[in-house]
């Protein structure tokens, strides 16, 4: 028995911890049952990024129009650019009974938690702060100023860890993927068990 609506799975955590890497690795696996929600952003595409696949790339005015029209489930300004989750896709997909996977930064995840407290909130944590710094520097996509800003934000984000249901360490990408998959399976089992007993109790009454 599966609950009718899908699960909303939110993967978040500090910049550079490996959210994008883990998400891509997860979605390359054949046994993945959840649907990825493509975000909108005003940041410039990086080399190899495709509009509609990696992000919906928008001008600032277009993004602000989406905010004004309530087209976003959440949005945040992160290191100078807007990022947001189009709500229509999330709602339709959950309604079809499919699980939706968001990979978003911490401010956005906290907004989603308010709107969807029944979601599954997973914080991806680095093995250490020094390893986090090496990953941001090693990625080589940002200038020194941006790296500095991202590290400052990362320290504030780590303080929000307690607001999440699960903390997954990203020591190795495959291990992090396995932990996330185990969490999702566990959450389905838990919810199905609760629904089963709830149904039995109402039948007894």
Ligand X SMILES: Nc1ncnc2c1ncn2[C@@H]1O[C@H](COP(=O)(O)OP(=O)(O)O)[C@@H](O)[C@H]1O
Annotated binding site for ATP: 13-20
Q: Rounded to an integer, what distance in angstroms lies between the CA atom of residue 8 and that of residue 67?
A: 21
Instruction: Output 62 or 77, the one with its CB closest to ligand X.
Output: 77
Instruction: Output 138 or 186, the one with its CB closest to ligand X.
Output: 138
Residue 172 binding result from ligand X, ligand GDP, none, given CB thresholds of 5 to 8 Å by partner type: ligand X
Q: Would you give the end-to-end CA distance of the chain in angstroms?
A: 22
Q: How far is the CB of 173 from ligand X (least distance, A)?
A: 5
Tell me 97's DSSP state: T
Q: Is 146 exposed, middle or buried (0-12, 13-18, 19+ CB in 10 A)?
A: middle
Tell me 192's DSSP state: H
Residue 58 binding result from ligand GDP, ligand X, none, given CB thresholds of 5 to 8 Å by partner type: none
Q: How far is the CB of 183 from ligand GDP (least distance, A)?
A: 18
Positions that interact with ligand GDP (CB under 6 A) = 15, 19-20, 39, 43, 74, 76, 78, 83-85, 103-105, 107-108
Cα angle, residue 22 at apex, residues 85 and 123 outer, rounded to 5°: 65
Residue 104 binding result from ligand GDP, ligand X, none, given CB thresholds of 5 to 8 Å by partner type: ligand GDP
């Amino acid at each position: 028995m599966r609950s009718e609506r899908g699960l909303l799975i939110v993967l978040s955590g500090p910049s550079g911890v490996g959210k994008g890497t883990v998400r891509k690795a997860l979605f390359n696996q054949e046994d993945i049952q959840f649907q990825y929600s493509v975000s909108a952003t005003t940041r410039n595409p990086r080399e190899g990024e495709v509009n509609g696949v990696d992000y919906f790339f928008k001008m600032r005015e277009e993004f602000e129009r989406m905010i004004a029209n309530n087209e976003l489930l959440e949005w945040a300004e992160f290191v100078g650019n807007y990022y947001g989750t189009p709500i229509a896709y999330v709602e339709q997909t959950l309604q079809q009974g499919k699980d939706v996977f968001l990979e978003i930064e911490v401010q956005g995840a906290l907004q989603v938690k308010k709107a969807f407290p029944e979601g599954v909130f997973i914080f991806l944590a680095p093995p250490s702060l020094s390893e986090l710094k090496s990953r941001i520097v090693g990625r080589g996509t940002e200038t020194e100023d941006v790296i500095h800003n991202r590290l400052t934000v990362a320290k504030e984000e780590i303080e929000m860890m307690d607001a999440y249901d699960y903390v997954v360490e990203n020591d190795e990408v495959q291990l992090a993927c396995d932990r996330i998959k185990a969490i999702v399976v566990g959450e389905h089992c838990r919810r199905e068990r609760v629904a089963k007993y709830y149904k039995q109790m109402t039948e007894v009454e």
